[in-house]
Amino acid sequence: MGFRDRSYSRGTTMVKWAYCLQLGCVGVFYVLASTQATVSDETTYKSPVPAGKVYFAENFDIEQDFRQRWVSSKAKKDGQEFAYDGKFEIGHSEDKNRLHGDFGLVLKTKASHHAISAALKQPFLFDFLPIVIQYEVQFMNGMECGGAYLKLLSQPTDGKSTPDLLASLNDKTPYSIMFGPDKCGLQQKLHFIIQHKNPITGQLEEKHWKDAVNAGKAMNGKFGDVFTDKRPHLYTLVLNRDSTFEISIDGRLEVQGSLSNDMDPPIYPPKEIEDKDDVKPADWDEREKISDPEAVKPEDWDDTQPAEIPDPKAEKPIGWLDDEPLLVPDPEAKQPNDWDEDMDGTWEAPLVDNPKCKEVGCGKWEPPVIANPKYKGVWHPPMIDNPAYKGKWRPRKIPNPDYFFDERPFNSIPTAVAVGFELWSMTDGILFDNLIITDDRTVATQYAEDSFKLKIRNLDKDNKSFFDETMASFVDYSTQYPWLWGIYVLAVGIPAALIISYCCMSKSNRDEELIRRKKSDLEGDEALLPESEKAEEDQPNVAGGDVADDIADGVEDDAAEDEADQHEESPGGSGSPGSASAVSVAADQSDEEGVKESEETGGTGKQTGTRQRRKARKD
């Protein structure tokens, strides 16, 4: 087998291996994707279970557990009976592709106050560990006006027990954190509020995330969609012990901020404040401009000229009807049959436009008004810079007696012992689900993966194209089985390396093989030559060449012969006399040109032994 055949065979084998690897990896991925599609269609919903430590976790799937854990408030609002009479029930969404067995807490009544809460497994102290709050909200009927936020209820300071706290939940119950969506009319918010304890006064002060009304970055500025699209949305708050926080919607980052810089009012007050007892001096002039006291009204300035005057060039149109009224009784109107002159008075026909006025005009004629060319208006002196101007007066600054600096506002949030919903809403059908409170964000992420994301994939399965389903499977399985990345590397990296290796190395190997074959032929021919010809071969020829030149020429000629062989072996060229004849003539011409060159350089015209043997082989 020749070099060309061997090289082609090796290249073909390498490409085949590349294709096999790629097809194998595609097959593995297809099987996994198909398995997932089958499983997602056939597997029933499983309630999510936290994969680590939690302070609270609720999926609302078992109503009996819900009844044992959650307490409806019996509080009265401002002395009214049954103030918190709104109802919560366990229910599910009406989505076509909802997960069967997946339930949530549904707010069922309109225009009512609702309050329900549950105790944490253990109190959360805002000291060394971060807190992660995450839950789902679905406005199944949209939202007109109302809230869907939750509250972390603070540990009572009046000796009240946690059960009493739950039973008496109302709008004045102290809370540590409030978080979640809220809307009324055109105003919509994503609340994040903390209660911060003032270290000087000991009083709790509300601190609001200052961009609550501008939420929506995670949704490309379309935060309003959460209230109208009737889909579940996931809200996540991560509050770190260094007082930084993150808010996410549907797993996409909404904001990264800090309690020190992003709350309103600020966590700590300014160092200096304005002195409320300071008084502006009597001679303080705040006027930047004043009327020029030296300006004089021009003598030809006439203040009495009006802005508009009758057009002196206007003329009354010919045929104007001065005595005709603009309105006349409607000649086609008739007195109603039930008209009673004793009760209704004398009947009069309604007035309509006088048809005689349509042609020219009727009534008193007045010329139109035009701008008065003599009008200048009231004269005012021009304004100049006030030479006595001192600027805007401000009270002087004094040290703020209430100033303090809180290096870790996180530690000043009161301990939380319960979680609750205390809401008023004009819209019913608000579904809450998969609430979790933990100090480990990976636990919350996994909880969302097993609940919210599974729910969204199931809801969207009819709307996804094959490509979307495939990409979703790719991401999901790559996350679930990291070893798949090794297969991806094999599927792409090794075939690419094999193909590049074949393309880059085949040409150099071909040249080396040609030279090796030529040297081998020369050694075989020299073994058959008489001693005299060998001596002649070892001497430089008359044209100044040597064996190396012949070898180089031979390589070129062999390349030409190989090309000729390819022509002969190609379809339609096998056994073609014309092709063989053309190659033979080209070779003979090459040898004749070599002899001619030798004669021109003063040589004897004698061909070297190499060329003689080449010609003999050609013959």
pLDDT digits 0-9 by tens, 560-582: 555 555 544 444 444 444 444 44
Report residue 343's pLDDT band, with 50, 70 and 90 as the boundaries: confident
- Asked which of 76-80, 85-89, 199-203, 275-279 is least confident by mean pLDDT, the reply is 76-80
Q: What is the pLDDT of residue 421?
A: 98
In this prediction, residues 485-497 reach a mean pLDDT of 73
How large a percentage of the chain has pLDDT more than 90? Answer: 51
Tokens matching residue 163: 């059960």
How large a percentage of the chain has pLDDT more than 70? Answer: 69
Q: What is the pLDDT of residue 392?
A: 93
Q: What is the pLDDT of residue 502?
A: 63
Contact 139, 104 (CB under 8 A): no
Of residues 17 and 421, more confidently modeled: 421
Q: What is the pLDDT of residue 523?
A: 60
Rounded to two decimals, the pTM is: 0.60
What one-character DSSP code corresponds to residue 340?
-
Of residues 296 and 543, more confidently modeled: 296
The 3-state DSSP composition of the chain as helix, strand, coil percent (nearest 5) reads 35, 25, 40
pLDDT over 50 at 273, yes or no:
yes
Q: What is the pLDDT of residue 34?
A: 56
pLDDT digits 0-9 by tens, 213-271: 999 999 898 899 999 999 999 999 999 999 999 999 999 999 999 999 999 999 999 99
Q: What is the pLDDT of residue 577?
A: 42
Distance CA 56, CA 117 (A): 12
Q: Is the dihedral of CA 116, 121, 123, 127 positive or negative?
A: negative
pLDDT digits 0-9 by tens, 448-478: 999 999 999 988 876 655 565 566 566 665 6
pLDDT over 60 at 507, yes or no:
no
In this prediction, residues 92-120 reach a mean pLDDT of 93
pLDDT over 50 at 186, yes or no:
yes
Strand partners, 187: 184
- CATH fold of 56-271+408-450 reads Jelly Rolls (2.60.120)
Amino acid at position 591, single letter: D
Domain regions of the chain by residue span: 3-46+474-503, 56-271+408-450, 529-618
Q: What is the pLDDT of residue 558?
A: 52
Distance of CA 431 to CAs 66, 100, 369, 427, Å? 15, 15, 69, 12
pLDDT digits 0-9 by tens, 512-529: 666 666 666 666 555 555
pLDDT over 90 at 295, yes or no:
yes
- Burial class for 616, CB neighbours closer than 10 Å (0-12, 13-18, 19+): exposed
Q: What is the pLDDT of residue 42?
A: 45
Which region holds residue 50: left if phi is over 0, alpha if psi is between -120 and 50, else beta?
beta
Report residue 598's pLDDT band, with 50, 70 and 90 as the boundaries: very low
Report residue 8's pLDDT band, with 50, 70 and 90 as the boundaries: low
Top mean-pLDDT range of 162-171, 312-321, 597-606: 162-171
pLDDT digits 0-9 by tens, 423-453: 999 999 999 999 999 999 999 999 999 999 9
In this prediction, residues 487-499 reach a mean pLDDT of 72
Intra-chain end-to-end CA distance of the chain, in Å: 24
Of residues 544 and 449, more confidently modeled: 449
pLDDT over 60 at 383, yes or no:
yes
Q: What is the pLDDT of residue 493?
A: 73
Residues 594-598: contacts with CB within 8 Å, 24+ apart? 597/543, 598/541, 598/542, 598/543
Q: What is the pLDDT of residue 78?
A: 65
Give the mean pLDDT of the chain.
81
Nearest Cα residue to 425 out of 146, 52, 104: 146
SS3 597: helix
Q: What is the pLDDT of residue 234?
A: 97
DSSP letters spanning 112-127: EEEEEEEEEEEEEPSS
Q: What is the pLDDT of residue 517?
A: 66
